Amino acid sequence: MKQLKDILYKVPVDAVYGDTAIPVFQVVFDSRKVKKGDLFVAQKGVTVDGHLYIERAVELGAASVICESIPEKRKEGVTYVQVEDSNTTLAIVASNFYDNPSSKLSLVGVTGTNGKTTIASLLYQLFQKAGYKTGLLSTVKIVVDRKEYPATHTTPDSVSINHYLNEMVEAGVDYCFMEVSSHGIHQKRTEGLDFSGGIFTNLSHDHLDYHKTFAEYRDVKKSFFDSLSKKAFMLSNIDDKNGSIMMQNTKAKKRTYALKTLADYKAKIIEKRFSGTLLSIDGIEVWTKLIGTFNAYNLLAIIGTANELGLDKFEMLTILSELESVSGRFQYVVSENGVTAIVDYAHTPDALKNVLETINDIRTDNEKLITVVGCGGDRDKTKRPKMAHIASQLSNQAIFTSDNPRTEDPEIILNEMEAGVSPENYKKTLTILDRRQAIKTACKFSERGDILLIAGKGHETYQEINGERFHFDDLEEVTQCFNLLKK
């Protein structure tokens, strides 16, 4: 419990109606969850305006309300606080309510189009193995030391972020690694957090359904680094053409990593296999279970971060070889007749291209590469033809199928994908609406030594259709197919 006046610290307030010397039991932004004595923050969201539910929140017992527009009808005894931006205010009051937990540990944010989950998750693994209590806020899961919670968003809401950070502080956590999405930045969920460092991975086509233009998407990402303090470090992938842009206005200590360009942290790929990658780092050869060039970049980000946070170099390089691949990121299973099936979350054109190029770098021309891929509904439509073009161009056979159609007609999504296939690649493509059937067909097409890529869903264990989630696990499906084929 906190006093309202205390959790309004650093909040630009336009007007106050009522007493601020009142207790706040919880900070709530969903009117359905309001209880007696809570503070309700009314946000203007993408689809819902919380101001429409102020009266309902008060009826349920809210003792105070933060809003951008004061309602004409106000209840006596309830305090109303008017602010310019409810999203920013929610983040600040949530941080204040939990006594600013981000300032009591080392919090590192990871942002970019691809690689966020892998980098954050492997940094968690690395620091745990080095003997530190560590936290993780990721797409796959939330971890407080070793206690796991399910994740619902790449970047949780402001209240949840501070709730989990507070749990970490109480558990004695030293470091927390957090995925920072463009949605999270744009919706101000990370405002008020004290970051010790920020990592930029790369930038490519994604979320243009939300941001409308690539420039806006880029600038939202950049704003995260612009907000870092002088005490923090900023680690940027300088091989990416946007890497230098991200560093332009940051006050943080600037550090770079690269495979091709002169940088603070560099590595050379010596050998690639499906079992792992051999790297040369500062003249030291390191074997890692992670596969491909894109993972070499991820490892450089991990090495740079660990060094900036003071981890011993030789201890770090030793632990690197022990790190395990993240769920749904280049996970593979091999059938009895030698077919390798790879499940990967690649759901952007760039990510799909990276995975397919990695496979093609390792395989010989004696094996077929069969790719099963779809595109999500209610998301950026412009990447659909690009994904199909890449899959058909870089595979021997591409099977287009349903991903998470959500509220869209899956057949329309597939038609939009097919429009991106070049005439010379038509004969290499097949469209199967049912994802389970598409995976079964790919298994039947495959012969000894072939490689099967199932892309787009990765760690997800569901398929979302018309607002409902049905159990569906790509790794589980392909494993069952392999088991059936051997009988």
E strands within 68-127?
79-83, 106-111
Per-residue pLDDT, 211: 47
Handedness of CA 221, 223, 227, 231 (dihedral sign): positive
User: Which class for 168: exposed (0-12), middle (13-18), buried (19 or more C-beta within 10 A)?
Assistant: buried
Divide the 487 residues of the chain into consecutive groups of 10 and give the mean pLDDT of each group.
Answer: 96 96 97 97 87 96 97 94 97 98 98 94 97 96 95 87 98 97 91 97 69 81 96 98 96 98 96 92 92 94 98 93 89 91 93 94 90 94 96 98 96 97 97 97 95 95 93 96 75
Paired with 41 in beta bridges are 66
Per-residue pLDDT, 467: 85
E strands within 58-112?
64-67, 79-83, 106-111
Q: How many CB atoms lie within 10 A of CB 69?
A: 12
Whole-model pTM above 0.85?
yes
Q: How many CB atoms lie within 10 A of CB 222?
A: 21
Per-residue pLDDT, 212: 64
Per-residue pLDDT, 486: 63
Residue 425 one-letter amino acid: N
Q: Beta strands 397-400 and 134-137: pairing type? A: unpaired
Q: What Å distances lie between residue 384 and 139, 251, 397, CA to CA?
A: 22, 38, 17
Per-residue pLDDT, 229: 97
User: What one-character-per-residue DSSP string does 327-369 give?
Assistant: TTSSEEEE-TTS-EEEEE---SHHHHHHHHHHHHHHS-TTS-E
Specify whether the CB–CB gap between 201 and 348 falls below 8 A.
no
Specify whether the CB–CB gap between 284 and 293 falls below 8 A.
no
Euclidean distance between CA atoms 140 and 178, whole angstroms? 11
Euclidean distance between CA atoms 456 and 366, whole angstroms? 26
Contacts of 111 (CB under 8 A, 6+ apart): 179, 180, 181, 182, 185, 198, 199, 200, 201, 221, 224
